[in-house]
Amino acid sequence: MDKHIRKIFSLFVLIMIAVLIMRLRADDWSMLNWCMLAVGALACLLVFRVFVYIFNFSYALASIVNGVLLAAWFGNGPALLLGGLMALYGLRLLAFTWTRVRSSSYAHRVELVGQADAGLPAAIRVALWVQCSFLYCFHLFAIYYAGRHGEWTASVYAGAALILAGTVIEGLADLQKQRAKALAPDDFVATGLFRNWRHPNYVGEMLVQVGLVVVGLGAVSAGWGPVVAVTVAPLYVFLLMISECGRADRHMEMRYGDRDEFNEYLRRSGSMLPKVGRG
């Protein structure tokens, strides 16, 4: 996470806190909302184990538990569908992350993370815990509103389709990259979805966030408060994925930029959109 996206994160968290205060003053912060925040806070305690766990394991756990919680709380069709999809999304991410941190191809990265974790001040861990707790609470507010509304709408169907498509693309890309790295850990991945598309995994994540926004905007009533509540967290994750695409491109160019085959790969591939009819 670069310094610019960290600054944006702090701004987005302040917006989430402002929405919380506004909803408390309007007596519109329910017991379910408190439960969603508690789930985020409990999942984010992993930051005190290894700080990067808050960005993958905690994110996955919050998606699973809050997805199931929303589905069970409302019990209607839209909540069951959307909550179930986000629980499935979280389970996929949890399984992938667990497998990755135990793989030999990722061992060097785990060692570097351990070194960075050892020197991380406690104050930064606490700040991350607070910020990500709010992020993971608000992340599924779109499903909260859709479940409260309880009606099948075009936005529910469209959002669910985007969430499912994003989960499948991200899951397939992660699996293909993991298998390729197991065979050639020091090489870049240019097979499968990555043949003409450098970051299908990040774009799959972006589709999930767009799906949540579509669901949320179709479920809220007039007023800027509900609109902000359903869009603020998915929008931040969307911007984070754009930042990650750029960071990954820069990293690959630094690592492989002196290789002719990599420069050919750059010419035939797109970063966030695949190039078609090439290579």
- The model's pLDDT over 54-77, given as tens digits with 9 standing for 90+, comes to 999 999 999 999 999 999 999 999
Those residues whose C-beta lies under 8 Å from the C-beta of residue 15, and which sit 6 or more positions away, are: 228, 232
Q: Biggest alpha carbon distance in the chain? A: 62
Type of residue at 242: I
Does 110 score more than 80 pLDDT? Answer: yes
Query: Are the C-beta atoms of residues 149 and 159 closer than 8 Å to each other?
Result: no
pTM comes to 0.94
C-alpha dihedral (169, 173, 86, 95), degrees to nearest 10: 150
Helices 154-183/200-219 angle, 10° precision? 160
Domain parsing of the chain, residue ranges: 3-268
Sign of CA pseudo-dihedral 262, 265, 267, 270: negative
Q: pLDDT, tens digit, for every residue of 74-100?
A: 999 999 999 999 999 999 999 999 999
More confident residue, 277 or 58: 58
For 120, list phi and psi in degrees, rounded to 5.
-80, 125
Q: How confident is the model at residue 192 (pLDDT cuts 50, 70, 90)?
A: very high
- Asked if pLDDT for residue 3 goes beyond 70, the answer is no
The SS3 of residue 270 is strand
Percent of the chain with pLDDT over 90: 86
